[in-house]
């Protein structure tokens, strides 16, 4: 009985494991690591596969968890556009607009050297518009507004200048890169802020009186009204050298608009339109406003301010209340648009990945506004998207916080999270069934997430997140990133991928099935923890859609083929067992059986594992939907395996009975009879030939290596049997097979059978493949057919089509492609200077806003400079 | 924290500037690593499917016809004699066959259905005889058969290894059970001589069975399995043994007994005198005598021809069926609407 069972050991070949390891290793070491499409020239970083056993999972990823800073964005804030007095300035085109234009089929050149001469691109400033640069603003219809705009930028901030006081060499130290960008913008517009003393701001103003004039003006800063996340604005009261008192204010559009003086509806309306335009282009906006103060007004207010400032209890709250008193009747100047510079190609990449059916979650430590803004910029969210927001910044929670009881706060937050989760889930389900094409986005902040991850709410959280097309988690800690990742990994049972660049992403990278580190940066922690390292987020397209998809297809093919060929082989043995009285006699010689997987059928399947391509790399990216076949695991379903199994069954019957029938009659004119070993050798020959040909039939692309390996394998069998049956050894083998092949080859019967059996065996497969292709084609097959006459698909990869539009035409085209619809999103995002440690807030510790004491910082400037210089050199 | 990140990325930028100094890690271009090896991309278009079917049909039908014609030319006479050759009064067939004292000569008359051209091959056919049983197949020693000096080499030969401590040559179950019915033929009162040379494959005679190896201690046990061998003839010339020892694959098999070099006419009768010695009664085996002519393809084998014809015919039919399918259910090649994502949206 045991002997009988051991006969079927070939059904699970060890060579499967070896072959797959080999294939995966070469896929990683040769293909992924050497892909020129994933080589980042600027950082001299090629892609790096650090593990070789996740290739096929790259082709099945359904959820991507991405860090923001450093992964999606470069953490560079650049002043990009502005709207002054109802007029838009700035000719730049954001990535998202480029994406829109490219979708419409126009490619926009933005080579740096093609910019106009006035264009300036430095850190924090990437702006070009001849109308307002170099003093040209004086000729604009509203020079006064322009001047106020620039002054506001130059005065209303908490930035410290450092280094030499020349526009070229100065550096700005700011708590947030936004502020630095705004001040740098002012500098480039001719309002050079160069020195701060505890009470004054020194600005070198150009072109104010007349073109080319330059004068140093000292503005006395009387009060600074802090930015915080509740106020969403920041104001400065300053005294001009001529004694005029002005309050400059910048902040979120809705906050500013509430406090504007009546009148000027035109400007307000056009500015709002501009804000919406900026917002949907993924820019971060701020509104600027000012108010002239009279001495009396100021004095009476200042008393209250001093009082509030010196109060011991609830000082922040009182300061906020006092600020309300003066921040009103503002006059709108305009708004700024800052680009949170995305990594190159990110929106396009995300667009492609979404089309591929991959859901992208952004997990970031940033504030909610910033995160939403980036979601806009990455086209994860647009104006049609329905947003479900769970935020801890609601009035009820704030009230609870004011009461200060931690247990009570927790209860209130938990209750509100629970309620909103439940109602959102219902709403999302309703939306899914009523308007399935509507995209849904779910946004939650870390503090609420902490409660949502509670086992009781987890199910609702998961349910909602899985319905939504994109999920943004802001202000989350590294631990929460990992928790969210494993929530999906375990809850949805889908392949997850995490991508990040920093040490705070390590836990997330480790929690996902596939971890990807952004390499070429300074920190290596993420890379060290990752499975694959790529230099840029956009290379995910290549990694997943090309390498991942191919690897998945290939490995599916390899495994199913292995299953088929061993099942076929073993089943012939199985049929023989019935006719040996279940004695356990082997059908094949021991050597045939041992070498079957090692030599006669080994190489071709490895070739398939390496070279098979259903569609080319460029088509894989052009039709990202093809990736869904991997997500749905189309090629490794029971149905697929059953089809292979069925044909293995059919073929084994053909092999066994067609050849065994031969032993009943005499063959050849000598009338001699073939014995058992003749029959089995013939059957084995048929198996080897058929199985190798079957492989060719299932190939999508056949290189010469396929031909070599298939022909080589069949030739190897004949070579082997010629030698093996010609020699006699005195060792322990039985000489059953001696001369068998020569005996066989002396009969016509052998050749006739050798033609007949493979054809009949492959007949069924061929029929199936033809019918399947015609009646139920796979997506890739349709794409193959669409592009079967493409002559030079390889050259297409290297030479992306470029339109012949001049840069100006392209830009105007891109501008015409801007979203025109009215949206609610106006793109406010501003990292508060008083940005408290989010870890503290994670733990539920409420850190009181510390007043941003500019004066103190200014006086400490000398001491601070020293260590930073050494740090930078 | 933000400013820290900014510093991090800006110093990362300075690292970029230093890139040219380092050796470039840009991967070298090769068609292999970029996976751009030239390849042909076969697509099973209707044109291809139909032409493949037609091609197979065109090749297979003639081969089938030729094979079938060849097979039809073969004249075959099969006569089962195991039951008939036991006298009808014998109830215990097993005791009858094992009793060596009874003469078991038996006479059979065969009628030639069609002209038979020489050479006529004489086969014996056994049914239900598991020559492929594992323990049976194993029970032989090739070295002993080939090499006189290895006469005592009887490993694997269980249970027929030794007799009274002396090694049996040839040892093992297979040799022990060699078929031992004998046939003599009479045609119109003339004895037909049977040529019993060259009935085994030459390679077996020359290489597997030694010309200096003589049978020893063979069939000396209490239980006689089959043929006894003449101890003065070397194994390489004991062709019945050699034929028998090329074990058959299936439990129903034929083995060559000899050849008759006489042409037989239609309706001739042949009288066969046979010694019914071989015991197939203990396992319900059947014994038949087969006379057959041969062609280039061998003996009577309709199967091959029919298979070729069927497949060829089926291919023509399928070529036609697919043509119909392509006409009835046409699908533009590379039609966008067949892409699953387009299909789904069209469904709504």
Prediction ipTM score: 0.90
A35, A42, A786: residue with CB nearest B34: A35
Q: What is the pLDDT of residues A49-99, one digit of tens each?
A: 998 888 889 999 999 999 888 888 887 788 888 888 888 888 877 776 776
> Which are the contacts of A52, defined by CB distance < 8 A and separation ≥ 6?
A21, A24, A25, A27, A28, A29
Predicted pLDDT at A170: 85
- Cβ burial, residue B98 (10 Å; 0-12/13-18/19+): middle
Q: Is residue A661 part of a domain?
A: yes
Judge whether residue A238 has pLDDT over 50. Answer: yes
A364 is in an annotated binding site: yes
Residue that the structure tokens 């033929």 belong to: B185
Same domain, A464 and A574: no
Predicted pLDDT at A117: 56
Q: Enumerate the domain spans of chain B.
A: 45-74+298-326, 75-293
Predicted pLDDT at A107: 60
A446–B contact, CB cutoff 8 A: no
Judge whether residue A821 has pLDDT over 50. Answer: no
B95–A contact, CB cutoff 8 A: no
Q: What are phi and psi of A712, to 5 degrees?
A: -65, -40
What is the number of structural domains in chain A?
Answer: 3
What is the mean pLDDT of the segment spanning A345-353? 87
Q: How far is CA A331 from CA A149, A236, A257, A327, B336, in A?
A: 11, 14, 9, 10, 56
Give A598 to chain B, closest Cα distance, Å. Answer: 24
Lowest mean pLDDT across A91-100, A202-211, A438-447, B61-70 = A91-100
Predicted pLDDT at A829: 66
pTM, two decimal places? 0.83
Predicted pLDDT at A216: 87
- For A742, nearest residue in chain B (alpha carbons): B203
- Other Cβ atoms less than 10 A from the Cβ of A721: the count is 24
A395 is in an annotated binding site: no
Judge whether residue B12 has pLDDT over 70. Answer: no
Q: Confidence band (pLDDT; 50, 70, 90) for B15?
A: very low
A504 is in an annotated binding site: yes
What is the mean pLDDT of the segment spanning A834-857? 41
Whether B6 and A613 lie within 8 Å, measured CB to CB: no
Judge whether residue A730 has pLDDT over 70. Answer: no
Task: Answer with the one of A781, A804, A820 that is the final residue of a domain.
Answer: A781
Whether B3 and A769 lie within 8 Å, measured CB to CB: no
Return the ∠ at Cα B95 (arms to B92 and B101), rounded to 5°.
130
Q: Which of A181, A671, A746, A840 to mutate to test the interface with B (most CBs of B within 10 A)?
A: A671
- For B256, nearest residue in chain A (alpha carbons): A672
Q: Is residue A184 part of a domain?
A: yes
Rounded Cα distance between A449 and A451, Å, is: 5
Tell me if residue A84 falls in helix, strand or coil: strand
A75, A702, A774: residue with CB nearest B9: A75
Q: Confidence band (pLDDT; 50, 70, 90) for A118?
A: low
CATH at residue A273: 3.40.1110.10
Tell me if residue A588 falls in helix, strand or coil: coil
Whether A30 and B334 lie within 8 Å, measured CB to CB: no
Q: What is the pLDDT of residues B66-107, one digit of tens each?
A: 999 998 999 999 999 988 888 888 888 888 888 878 888 889
A501 is in an annotated binding site: yes
Whether B16 and A779 lie within 8 Å, measured CB to CB: no
Q: Which of B41, B197, B239 to mutate to test the interface with A (most CBs of A within 10 A)?
A: B41
Q: Is residue A807 part of a domain?
A: no
Judge whether residue B59 has pLDDT over 80. Answer: yes
- For A674, nearest residue in chain B (alpha carbons): B248
Q: What is the pLDDT of residues A796-815, one digit of tens each?
A: 444 343 444 444 555 555 55
- For A76, nearest residue in chain B (alpha carbons): B6
Q: Which of A673, A679, A695 to mutate to test the interface with B (most CBs of B within 10 A)?
A: A673
- Other Cβ atoms less than 10 A from the Cβ of B280: the count is 19
Q: What is the pLDDT of residues B146-204, one digit of tens each?
A: 888 888 888 888 887 888 888 888 888 999 999 999 999 998 888 889 999 889 888 88
Predicted pLDDT at B16: 41
Predicted pLDDT at A729: 66
Q: What is the pLDDT of residues A218-235, one digit of tens each?
A: 899 888 888 877 788 889
Whether B39 and A735 lie within 8 Å, measured CB to CB: no
Active site residue A109: no
Whether A788 and B336 lie within 8 Å, measured CB to CB: no
A270–B contact, CB cutoff 8 A: no
Q: Is residue A355 part of a domain?
A: no
A537 neighbors A349 (Cβ within 8 angstroms): yes
Same domain, A583 and A731: yes
Whether B334 and A680 lie within 8 Å, measured CB to CB: no
Same domain, A766 and A644: yes
A80 neighbors A337 (Cβ within 8 angstroms): yes
Judge whether residue B53 has pLDDT over 50. Answer: yes
Whether B246 and A673 lie within 8 Å, measured CB to CB: yes
Q: Confidence band (pLDDT; 50, 70, 90) for B333?
A: confident
A844–B contact, CB cutoff 8 A: no
Same domain, A332 and A414: no
A322: which 2 tokens?
């006092």
What is the mean pLDDT of the segment spanning A340-345? 82
A579–B contact, CB cutoff 8 A: yes
A232 is in an annotated binding site: no
A45, A365, A674: residue with CB nearest B25: A45
Task: Spell out which residues of chain B touch residue A744, defining contact as CB-CB under 8 Å.
Answer: none
Cβ under 8 Å to A: B residues 274-303:
292, 294-301, 303
Supply the range of the domain harboring residue A704: 1-23+545-781
Tell me if residue A30 falls in helix, strand or coil: helix
The pLDDT mean for chain B works out to 84
Q: What is the pLDDT of residues A627-683, one digit of tens each?
A: 998 898 888 999 999 999 999 999 999 999 988 876 677 677 778 888 888 889 999
Task: Spell out which residues of chain B touch residue A668, defining contact as CB-CB under 8 Å.
Answer: 294, 296, 298
Residue that the structure tokens 């259903």 belong to: A614
Same domain, A433 and A582: no
What is the mean pLDDT of the segment spanning A689-693? 94
Predicted pLDDT at A867: 42
User: What are the DSSP calls for A475-516, one per residue?
Assistant: S--HHHHHHHHHHHHHHT--EEEEEE-SGGGHHHHHHSSEEE
What is the mean pLDDT of the segment spanning B47-73? 93
Task: Answer with the one of A762, A781, A800 that is the final residue of a domain.
Answer: A781
Catalytic residue, from A35, A67, A445, A614: name it: A67
Q: What percent of chain A clears pLDDT 70, i.e. is strictly above it?
A: 86
Q: Confidence band (pLDDT; 50, 70, 90) for A846?
A: very low
B328–A contact, CB cutoff 8 A: no
- Other Cβ atoms less than 10 A from the Cβ of A214: the count is 12
Q: Confidence band (pLDDT; 50, 70, 90) for A102?
A: low
The pLDDT mean for chain A works out to 82
What is the mean pLDDT of the segment spanning A512-523? 84
Judge whether residue A857 has pLDDT over 80. Answer: no
Task: Answer with the one of A341, A372, A391 that is the final residue of a domain.
Answer: A341
A249 neighbors A288 (Cβ within 8 angstroms): yes
Whether A767 and B318 lie within 8 Å, measured CB to CB: yes
A179 is in an annotated binding site: yes
Give B68 to chain A, closest Cα distance, Å. Answer: 12
Q: Is residue A49 part of a domain?
A: no
A617–B contact, CB cutoff 8 A: yes
Same domain, A392 and A331: no
């Amino acid at each position: 009985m045991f002997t009988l069972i051991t006969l079927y050991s070939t059904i699970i070949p060890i060579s499967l494991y070896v072959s797959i390891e080999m294939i995966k290793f070469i896929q990683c070491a040769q293909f992924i690591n050497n892909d020129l499409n994933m080589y980042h020239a600027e950082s001299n970083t090629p892609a790096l596969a650090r593990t070789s056993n996740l290739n096929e999972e790259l082709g099945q990823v359904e959820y991507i968890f991405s860090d923001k800073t450093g992964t999606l964005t470069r953490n560079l804030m650049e002043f990009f556009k502005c709207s002054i007095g109802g007029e838009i300035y700035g000719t730049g085109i954001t990535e998202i607009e480029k994406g829109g234009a490219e979708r419409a089929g126009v490619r926009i050149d933005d080579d740096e050297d093609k910019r106009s001469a006035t264009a300036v691109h430095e850190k924090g400033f990437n702006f070009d518009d001849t109308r307002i640069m170099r003093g040209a603003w004086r000729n604009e219809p509203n020079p006064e507004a322009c001047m106020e705009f620039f002054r506001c930028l130059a005065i209303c901030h908490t930035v410290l200048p450092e280094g030499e006081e020349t526009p070229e060499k100065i550096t700005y130290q700011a708590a947030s890169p936004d502020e630095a960008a705004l001040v740098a913008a002012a500098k480039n517009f001719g309002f050079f802020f160069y020195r701060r003393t505890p009470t004054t701001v020194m600005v070198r103003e150009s072109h104010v009186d007349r073109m080319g004039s330059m004068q140093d003006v000292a503005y006395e800063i009387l009060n600074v009204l802090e930015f915080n996340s509740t106020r969403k604005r920041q104001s400065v009261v300053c005294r001009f050298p001529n004694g005029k008192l002005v309050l400059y204010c910048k902040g979120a559009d809705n906050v500013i608009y509430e406090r504007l003086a009546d009148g000027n509806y035109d400007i307000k309306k056009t500015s709002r339109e501009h804000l919406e335009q900026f917002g949907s282009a993924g820019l971060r906006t701020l509104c600027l406003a000012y108010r002239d103060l009279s001495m009396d007004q100021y004095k009476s207010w200042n008393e209250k301010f001093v009082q509030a400032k010196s109060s011991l209890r609830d000082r922040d709250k009182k300061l906020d209340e006092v600020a309300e008193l003066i921040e009103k009747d503002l006059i709108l100047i305009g708004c700024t648009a800052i680009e949170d510079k995305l990594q190159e190609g990110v929106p396009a990449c995300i667009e492609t990945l979404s089309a591929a059916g991959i859901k992208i979650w952004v997990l970031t430590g940033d504030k909610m506004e910033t995160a939403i803004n980036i979601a806009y910029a990455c086209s994860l969210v647009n104006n049609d998207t329905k947003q479900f927001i769970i935020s801890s910044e609601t009035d009820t929670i704030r009230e609870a916080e004011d009461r200060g009881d931690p247990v009570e706060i927790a209860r209130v937050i938990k209750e509100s999270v629970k309620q909103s989760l439940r109602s959102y889930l219902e709403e999302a389900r309703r939306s899914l069934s009523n308007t399935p094409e509507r995209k849904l986005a779910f946004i939650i902040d870390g503090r609420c997430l902490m409660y949502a991850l509670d086992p009781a709410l987890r199910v609702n959280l998961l349910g909602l997140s899985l319905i939504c097309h994109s999920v943004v988690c802001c202000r989350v800690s590294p631990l929460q990133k990992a928790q969210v990742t494993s929530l999906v990994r375990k809850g949805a049972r889908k392949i997850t991928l995490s991508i990040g660049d920093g040490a705070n992403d390590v836990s997330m990278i480790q929690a996902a099935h596939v971890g990807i580190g952004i390499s070429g940066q300074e920190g290596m922690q993420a890379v060290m923890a990752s499975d694959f390292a790529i230099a840029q987020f956009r290379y995910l397209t290549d990694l997943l859609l090309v390498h991942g998809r191919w690897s998945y297809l290939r490995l599916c093919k390899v495994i199913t083929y292995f299953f088929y060929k061993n099942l076929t082989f073993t089943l012939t043995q199985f049929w023989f067992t019935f006719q040996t009285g279940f004695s356990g006699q082997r059908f094949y010689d021991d050597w045939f059986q041992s070498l079957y997987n090692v030599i006669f059928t080994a190489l071709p399947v490895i070739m398939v594992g390496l070279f098979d391509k259903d569609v080319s790399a460029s088509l894989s990216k052009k039709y990202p939907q093809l990736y869904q076949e991997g997500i749905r695991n189309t090629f490794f379903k029971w149905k697929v395996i059953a089809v292979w199994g069925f044909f293995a069954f059919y073929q084994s019957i053909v092999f066994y009975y067609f050849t065994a029938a031969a032993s009943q009659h005499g063959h050849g004119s000598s009338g001699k009879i073939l014995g058992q070993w003749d029959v089995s050798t013939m059957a084995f020959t048929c198996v080897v030939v058929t199985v190798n040909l079957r492989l060719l039939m299932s190939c999508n692309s056949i290189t010469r290596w396929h031909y070599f390996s298939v022909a080589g394998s069949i030739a190897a069998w004949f070579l082997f049997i010629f030698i093996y049956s010609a020699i006699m050894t005195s060792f322990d083998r039985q000489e059953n097979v001696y001369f068998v092949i020569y005996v066989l080859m002396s009969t016509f019967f052998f050749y006739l059978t050798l033609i007949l059996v493979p054809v009949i065996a492959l007949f069924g497969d061929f029929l199936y493949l033809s019918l399947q292709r015609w009646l139920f084609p796979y997506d890739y097959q349709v794409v193959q057919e669409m592009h079967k006459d493409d002559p030079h698909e390889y050259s297409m990869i290297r030479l992306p089509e470029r339109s012949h539009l001049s840069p100006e035409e392209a830009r105007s085209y891109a501008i015409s492609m801007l979203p025109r619809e009215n949206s609610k999103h106006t793109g406010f995002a501003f990292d508060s200077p008083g940005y408290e440690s989010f870890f503290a807030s994670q733990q539920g510790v409420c850190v009181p806003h510390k007043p941003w004491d500019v004066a103190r910082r200014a006086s400490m400037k000398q001491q601070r400079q020293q260590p930073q210089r050494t740090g930078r050199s | 924290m933000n400013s820290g990140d900014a510093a991090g990325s800006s110093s990362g930028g300075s690292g970029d500037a230093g890139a040219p100094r380092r050796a470039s890690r840009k991967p070298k271009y090769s068609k292999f690593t970029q996976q751009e090896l030239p390849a042909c991309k076969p697509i099973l278009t209707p044109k291809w499917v139909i032409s493949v079917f037609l091609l197979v049909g065109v090749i297979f039908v003639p081969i089938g016809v030729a094979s079938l014609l060849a097979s039809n030319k073969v004249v075959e006479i099969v006569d089962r004699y195991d039951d008939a050759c036991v006298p009808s009064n014998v109830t215990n067939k097993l005791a009858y066959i094992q009793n060596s004292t009874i003469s078991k000569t038996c006479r059979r008359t065969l009628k030639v259905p069609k002209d038979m051209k020489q050479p006529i091959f004489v086969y014996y056919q056994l049914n239900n005889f598991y020559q492929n049983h594992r323990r049976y197949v194993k029970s032989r020693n090739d070295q002993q058969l080939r090499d006189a000096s290895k006469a005592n080499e009887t490993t694997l030969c269980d249970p027929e290894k030794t007799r009274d401590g002396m090694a049996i040559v040839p040892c093992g179950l297979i040799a022990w059970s060699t078929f031992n019915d004998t046939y003599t033929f009479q045609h119109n009162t003339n004895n037909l001589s049977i040529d019993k040379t060259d009935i085994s494959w030459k390679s077996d005679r020359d290489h597997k069975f030694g010309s200096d190896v003589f049978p020893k201690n063979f069939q000396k046990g209490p239980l006689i399995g089959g043929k006894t061998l003449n101890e003065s003839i070397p194994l390489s010339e004991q062709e019945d043994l050699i034929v028998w020892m090329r074990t058959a694959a299936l439990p129903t098999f034929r083995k060559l007994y000899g050849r008759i070099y006489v042409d037989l006419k239609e309706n001739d009768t042949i009288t066969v005198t046979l010694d019914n010695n071989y015991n197939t009664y203990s396992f319900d085996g059947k014994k038949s005598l087969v006379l057959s002519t041969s062609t280039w393809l061998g003996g009577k084998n309709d199967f091959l021809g029919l298979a070729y014809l069927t497949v060829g015919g089926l291919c023509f039919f399928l070529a036609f069926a697919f043509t119909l399918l392509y006409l009835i259910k046409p699908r533009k090649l590379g039609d966008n609407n067949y892409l699953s994502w387009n299909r789904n949206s069209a469904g709504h």
